[in-house]
Amino acid sequence: MDISLKQKILHLFFPTRCPVCGEFISYDELFCAECSGKLARFTGDFTVKGADGFTAAFVYDENISPAVIQLKRGVCGNADRALGLPLAAKLRENGAAVGIIVPVPMHRSARRERGFNQAELIAAVIGKELSIPVAADCAVKLRKTAAQKELDRVHRMNNLRNAFRIVRPELVRGKSVLIVDDVCTTGSTLAELAAVMRKSGAISVYCAASCKTPLTKPNKAD
Ligand SMILES: [Zn+2]
């Protein structure tokens, strides 16, 4: 079914709401006009170690964070589209030719607890929008790691060392890979994943997050 038709029908039964303030919005809007006006678009220059490029749609701040929280709670709504489509537009603008999208994996017990992986939801929206396949089962997180935001830089790197494994290397070998996450803080998670992608034969690795924490302020999330 045509995506916009599906949106229209869904809208009849579950009117679309702004994922930030909860106001009713039109089926083809992502945020209400007021919230949209407050959102800070990411325009900064950020480098993920070992990756060929990084981009984000929004700066992670108090204006966008309710949408991220809604996405993580899995409340039915359009937080996945609101966070995914602007990132897809940014990627299209940048014109990076990507063969496959890999969402940042969650440890299976964390995923079981939440019931889904929010990075996967965003990756699905981007994949559909840009017609790029998504390989959610390509990488796994081997162990539960401490929340990155609670650690200093050195501990962050050690915390993630050998945390990921590519279980289906054939999906990335010889390809240009795009790693997708919801929020990026220091980029340590993306850097660690980019390294294992390369070891598995990816020819280039780009990273993208719906939100990037401010470049100069202390980190709030990962
Ligand atoms: Zn709003």
d(CA 101, CA 158): 26
Contact assessment for residue 138 and residue 171, using Cβ atoms and an 8 Å cutoff: yes
The structure's pTM equals 0.88
Which pLDDT band holds residue 163 (cuts at 50, 70, 90)? confident
Contact assessment for residue 68 and residue 183, using Cβ atoms and an 8 Å cutoff: yes
CA 12, 13, 19, 23 dihedral sign is: positive
What is the rounded average pLDDT of the residues 21-44? 94
Please give the distance, rounded to the nearest whole angstrom, from the Cα atom of residue 190 to the centre of ligand 1.
Answer: 30
Spans of all domains in the chain: 40-212
Which pLDDT band holds residue 159 (cuts at 50, 70, 90)? confident
d(CA 20, CA 10): 19
What is the tens place of the pLDDT at every residue in 171-192? 999 999 999 999 999 899 999 9
Nearest CA-CA partner of 210 in 116, 106, 103, 107: 103
Please give the distance, rounded to the nearest whole angstrom, from the Cα atom of residue 119 to the centre of ligand 1.
Answer: 22
Taking the domain 40-212, which CATH number applies? 3.40.50.2020
Please give the distance, rounded to the nearest whole angstrom, from the Cα atom of residue 219 to the centre of ligand 1.
Answer: 25
- 3-state SS class at 37: helix
What is the tens place of the pLDDT at every residue in 112-146? 988 999 999 999 999 999 999 999 999 999 877 76
Asked whether the predicted pLDDT for residue 222 surpasses 60, the reply is no
Please give the distance, rounded to the nearest whole angstrom, from the Cα atom of residue 38 to the centre of ligand 1.
Answer: 9
What is the tens place of the pLDDT at every residue in 37-66? 999 999 989 999 999 999 999 999 999 999
Contact assessment for residue 222 and residue 70, using Cβ atoms and an 8 Å cutoff: no
